[in-house]
Structures are given as C-alpha cells and as structure tokens.
Amino acid sequence: MSFDDATRAPLPGEELDIGRLSDFLKQERPGLKGEIEIAQFSSGHSNLTYLVKVGEDELVLRRPPFGKKPKSGHDMHREWTVLNALNHHFPYIPEPVAYCEDPAVLGAPFFLMRRIRGFIPRRDLPKELGIEPAAMRHLCEQVVDVHRELHDLDYHGLNMDSLGHPDGYVKRQIEGWSRRYRDARTPDVPDFEDTMAWLSANQPPERGAAIIHNDYRFDNIVLDDSLNVIGVLDWEMATIGDPLMDLGASLAYWVEPGDGPGMEAIRLVPTTEPGSLTRREVVNRYLAGSGHEEVDFTFYYVYGLFRLAGIAQQIYYRFYNGQTKDPRFGRLGKAVHVLENAARRNIEEGHI
C-alpha cells in the first residue's frame, strides 16, 4: 500500500526547462543516466518543489516561487548549506545532490536532493492505515524524540555557528514577529496587542542554543510503511536558537480534541487521532530526555500560536490586497481570529 505524496504536471508559469536542467545534471552529476521527467508536488505554500526522475533515480528539486526576488525565507543556498552540514550526522536528512546558483539555468538558484520515499502525514491519516491508538502514541513519541535528537547535535562541531545568532534569540523573535504582524495587519483581524505585550513582559531566560528546524511538524516528516520516522523535510528556516522556542512553535500545530471547533477547523496535522500525545505529554517527554529542568511552557506555546498567526496573516495580507486570488489564503483571516482566541485563553488559564 502506497501513500506517497501526490504530484501533478507543473502549473502554467511554473514549468522547468528540461533541456537546461539536463545539461546542468550532465555536468554536475554525470553518473545520473536516463531521460528526465518532471512533475510538481501539489503541497506547500512557500518554495516550489518538483519530482525529477532521471532514469531510475528520483530527485527532488527546490526553487523559489517564480516572479519573486528571493528573501531569506526562500534562500536556496541556506537550505543547501544546512543539508550538507547535517548529512551523515542526522539520519533523517535528504541526501543533497547538486546546487545551482546561476539563474540562467532555471531562472533562480535551486538545489536537488534525493527523494525519501514514504508517507507524509497531513491533516487526517488515511483510514486504510488502520492505525491503532498504541501505534499512534508510539508515532508521536518518535516525532518528539527526533526533534530532541536534532537539538542535541553539536552545532559547533558541525561548523554551523554561522547559521544564526543565538544570543538574544527570544527577544528578537518576540520583537520581530510583533513587527511583522503589525506590518501585515488588515482591518478585519484582531490587533494582538495584549498578546504581544504579555509576550514582551514575560520572556523567560534563554535555555541554551541548538540547531532548530523552525517548522517542525507532522507534515514535514516522512514515514515508512511501519510508521517509523525516516525523513525530516523543509529546512529553509533552520537556524541556531533557543530549542524551547522551536518546540513552542511546533506545539502551535499540535491541536487536541478538547481545543474546540475553531482550532479543529484550522488543524493541519493528525494530532487528534486516538492515542495521540497531548501537548503536555509532548513537553514532558521532551524535557525528560533533554537535560532541561521543569519549565512552565505557557510562554512558549503562546509564542507558537502568535508566530503561527503572524505567518497566516502575512499570507492573508496578500489575499486581502489582491496580490493573490488563491481561495485557500482567503480563509486565513478566520484562522488568525481563532489563534488570537487560543493565545488569550492560554494566557488567562496559564497552561498549554
């Protein structure tokens, strides 16, 4: 039974020049033999991702969206650097294959990596899986353990110091997301000022520095047929920072059955499946193996909710102002309201 991620023919305006890509691969990877076939993965809202078949080899190509000058979030060389640094040290990394910075080839910098064949769990698990609660619990535990395994890596020893500036990371994140939210705010969404003020006034001491993924969630994870974690994808936002902030960002996606209809409506990953860990269980498992002392995680979870609202609002801003007509983006304004309510509730109740 296969649940590989769906592909389609490249969308109009997002096609790749097969001839130029073939010439590039012949020069950079002459060992790859065969005709090139290209399909586009249908998921994702950020960088464009393609399946490139070269004979029997399956590669994944990542490039920025067409028509946009790449910003840090679309920095191909940054993601390529992370993959190379972690290759052979973090077993869930896709194997890097080739990087091209010459825009004459495909119109923008891009890189290729080997495809990790498997199943990416999204909003709801396929019923055909028939996953039992005990198996779901074990999967959740793996997801937490792999996250902690990343944070345990010695970024100094991997020569990754230049990836980020960990000093003052918490303060910079609160200030940065507050600024980005205010800049992207539209008249039909909450102002989040109370949440921003609370986050600014309740910053915890920094808990060290680690390699953080910054988008670690179920739908950036690849599973094999036995539901074991075999891959972690989408490293474009990876940096060096406070690992508990990374966990807090992940918890924003970890919706529980008791969170109410609003959070259920915007849920992206299958954390309400019977047997799933609760957010409190996620934190307890992470802390038990991390060496961190017991921590009140309210700040980190509220930060995660606010950060997610900021991401959603930046996309919704484009829809509101007519820069995109994608109907998916038109629903994000409601998601911002839901996240504001969740942040306010958790501040008032003081739990996750």
Rounded CA separation 204/214 (Å)? 19
Determine the pLDDT at residue 43: 65
Which amino acid type is present at position 229?
V
What pLDDT score was predicted for residue 335?
A: 98
Q: Label the pairing between strands 110-114 and 57-63.
A: antiparallel
What pLDDT does residue 295 have?
87
Q: For residues 352 and 251, is the Cβ–Cβ distance under 8 A?
A: yes
| Residue 71, φ and ψ in degrees, nearest 5 | -105, -175
- The residue with tokens 């609160």 is 174
Distance between CA 171 and CA 169 in Å, rounded?
A: 6
Q: Closest Cα partner for 6 from 97, 95, 112, 122? A: 122
In this structure, what DSSP letter does residue 205 have?
P
Give the span between the Cα atoms of 316 and 314, in whole angstroms. 6
Residue 210 three-state SS: strand
Tell me how many degrees the CA angle 86-89-92 measures, rounded to the nearest 5. 75
Q: Domains of the chain by range and CATH?
A: 7-114 (3.30.200.20), 127-349 (3.90.1200.10)
pLDDT at residue 178 in the model: 98
Q: String of b and e for 302-336 (b: at least 16 CB within 10 Å)?
A: bbbbbbbbbbbbebbbebbeeeeeeeebeebbbbb
Average pLDDT for runs of 10 along the chain of length 352: 69 89 92 90 78 94 77 76 97 97 94 95 91 97 98 97 96 98 97 98 94 97 95 96 98 97 97 98 92 87 98 94 86 97 96 86
Contacts with 306 (C-beta within 8 Å, 6 or more apart), sequence order: 177, 181, 192, 195, 196, 199, 339, 343
Q: What's the confidence (pLDDT) of residue 285?
A: 96
Q: Specify whether the CB–CB gap between 32 and 2 falls below 8 A.
A: no
Distance CA 118, CA 115 (A): 9
Look at residue 11 in the predicted model and tell me its pLDDT.
82
Q: What is the per-residue pLDDT for 45?
A: 60
Give the Cα separation of 342 and 252 in Å (integer): 10
Which of 166, 137, 138, 136 has the alpha carbon at shortest distance from 151? 166
CB within 8 Å of 231: residues ≥ 6 apart: 92, 93, 94, 116, 118, 221, 222
pLDDT at 242 (0 to 100) = 97
Six-digit token pair at 219?
């739908």
